[in-house]
Chains A and B, each alone.
With several copies, the nearest count.
Chain A
C-alpha cells in the first residue's frame, strides 16, 4: 500500500490524527494501525513547522502510535512486561479519549456558531442616552492611575507585535513602488496620458489607489505634471524628464543608483 502525503488542512497533531482515521473510514473497511502510523509519520517528515511545542506534541503522539504498532506486530504477549503493557494500554486510552474530546468540542463549536449567527438577527441599540440627558451625565472617571494607564498602553501596543490579528489583512497589497516604476516607464514612452487609461489594467480598487499614490509621488518629485479641470474631469498627465526641484533631482539620482546596483 502506498501512502501519499497530500496537503491536508489540519490544526495540529491531534486534528491530523483525527482526520487520518475518519477519512480512511470511507475508503478502507479494515483500517490498520500501520497505515495510520505510516501516514502520520510521513507528515512529521513533511513538517516545516518550527513551533517547538507543536513539533513535540507531534512526536509524542507518533511515539505512542509507533509503540502501539510495534506491540501489534509481535504475536502473543510473551516477553512483555506486564507493567509496560498496562502503561501502553493507558497511553492508548488517553489518546483515544483525547480524540473523543476533540471531536466533541468540534461538534459543539459548530452548534455555538449556529447560535451566534442566529442571535445576530436580534439587533441591540448602541446609540446610548438621548441627547437631552447627556448634558447631565456626570464626568467620566478613568478609574486608573497614570502607571496603570501606561501599563495598558504597553500591552495594547505590544500584543499586536506578538499577536497580529491578520485575519482581515490583505496580504496581496499592491506595491506603490512597483506602480511608480510602471508609471515612470509608461510616462517616459507616452509623454502625455490620462490617469484612467494608465490604470485601465487594474482589477481592484486598491490597485488604482496604489497607482494614484504613485502618481502623487511623481508629481511631488516633479517628474509628472498633472491637471484636472473639474472634479469629474479626467486627470491629464504630462511627463517631465528633467525635474528641477531638489526632491526630484535626488530621486532621479537614487533611482539611477538602484538601476546600477
Chain B
C-alpha cells in the first residue's frame, strides 16, 4: 500500500481534519512526501470514479462525500434506522437522565461497555450536552440531558421523571466508583 492509500485510511477513520504535520509524524515520512501523497490522493478521487473527495479545510485534510451524492445521503439520513435510537443509545440516555451530571467514564462503568460513540450520537442529536467539568484530576466532561430530551418524553422538568424503585439502589454502583475519591466516608468505613 502506497503513502497516499495509507493517508486515505487515516482520513477515513478521523473524526476531524488531520494536518499535514500530523500525517508526517504518523507516517514517519518527510513533509514534502506527505504533501505530494495528499495531492495524489486528491487527484485519484477527482479524476477516477469515486463517491468521495479529499479537501483541505480548517487546518487539515478530510474525506467528504461527493456533493453530487447529497440528495441520496439526505434520504439515507431520513430512513428509519437513522432517526431511531438504538437500544444502546436508549440505555445510555436512561443512565444520563437518572445520574446526571455524569462523566463518560462513569457511564462506561455502569454499562460495562465503552460508550464514547453512543454519547457522541446522543450529543449530536441534541439529547444531551456537556454541562460542565468534574472537579479533581482529569476534569472529565460531565453530561446532562437537554430540554429537547424533556420535550421528547413530554416532561416539563426532570423532577417529573418517575423515580427508580427503592429495591434498586444504584447508589451501590456509584459508591464503588466514587470510593477512592471520598476520603471522609472511606475513613468511616475503616473504623466500622
Is any CB of A less than 8 Å from a CB of B in the complex?
A: yes
Chain A residues with a Cβ under 8 A of chain B: 1, 11-15, 21-22, 25, 30-36, 38, 51, 53-54, 57, 61, 68, 71-73, 75, 92, 95-96, 98-113, 115-116, 118-130, 132-134, 136-144, 146-147, 149-150, 152-161, 163-165, 167-169, 173-177, 180, 209-210, 212-214, 216-217, 254, 258, 261
B95: chain A residues at CB < 8 Å are: 105, 153, 156-157
- Chain B residue nearest to A60 (CB atoms) is B112
Query: If the complex has contacts A25-B176, A54-B114, A153-B97, are A115 and B154 also in contact, measured as CB distance less than 8 A?
Result: yes
Contact across chains for B164 and A14 when beta carbons are under 8 A apart: no
Contact across chains for B192 and A157 when beta carbons are under 8 A apart: no
The reply to whether the CB of B188 lies closer than 8 angstroms to some CB of chain A is: yes
Query: If the complex has contacts A11-B88, A157-B170, are A31 and B111 also in contact, measured as CB distance less than 8 A?
Result: no
- Choice from B86, B94, B162 contacting A156 with Cβ under 8 Å: B94
B135-151, CB < 8 A from A:
136-137, 151
Chain B nearest CB, measured from A74 CB (Å): 9
- Chain B residue nearest to A261 (CB atoms) is B191
Chain A nearest CB, measured from B187 CB (Å): 4
Contact across chains for A133 and B183 when beta carbons are under 8 A apart: no
A103: chain B residues at CB < 8 Å are: 169, 173, 177
Contact across chains for A138 and B189 when beta carbons are under 8 A apart: no
B137: chain A residues at CB < 8 Å are: 209, 212-213
B179: chain A residues at CB < 8 Å are: 31, 173
Chain B nearest CB, measured from A212 CB (Å): 6
The reply to whether the CB of B185 lies closer than 8 angstroms to some CB of chain A is: yes
Query: If the complex has contacts A33-B189, A72-B183, A167-B83, are A133 and B91 also in contact, measured as CB distance less than 8 A?
Result: no
Contact with A along B159-192 (1 / 0, CB 8 A): 0011011011110111011111111111111111
- Choice from A12, A149, A154, A261 contacting B165 with Cβ under 8 Å: A154
Give the CA-CA distance A163 to B89 in the complex, in Å.
14
Nearest first, the 6 closest Cβ-Cβ pairs linking A and B are A14-B112, A165-B112, A12-B113, A72-B186, A119-B154, A153-B94
B24-32, B33-41, B42-50, B123-131: which lies at the A interface?
B123-131
Contact across chains for A119 and B153 when beta carbons are under 8 A apart: yes
Can you give 27 contacting A-B residue pairs, CB < 8 Å? A12-B112, A14-B112, A14-B113, A15-B113, A34-B192, A35-B192, A73-B189, A96-B177, A105-B98, A108-B94, A108-B98, A112-B90, A122-B64, A123-B70, A125-B12, A140-B125, A140-B126, A141-B83, A142-B85, A142-B153, A146-B162, A149-B93, A154-B165, A154-B168, A160-B110, A167-B86, A177-B186
Contact across chains for B174 and A141 when beta carbons are under 8 A apart: no
- Choice from B13, B85, B91 contacting A116 with Cβ under 8 Å: B85
Query: If the complex has contacts A109-B90, A128-B15, are A153 and B164 also in contact, measured as CB distance less than 8 A?
Result: yes
Chain A nearest CB, measured from B14 CB (Å): 8
The reply to whether the CB of B158 lies closer than 8 angstroms to some CB of chain A is: no
Query: If the complex has contacts A30-B185, A153-B97, are A161 and B114 also in contact, measured as CB distance less than 8 A?
Result: no
Give the CA-CA distance A147 to B162 in the complex, in Å.
8
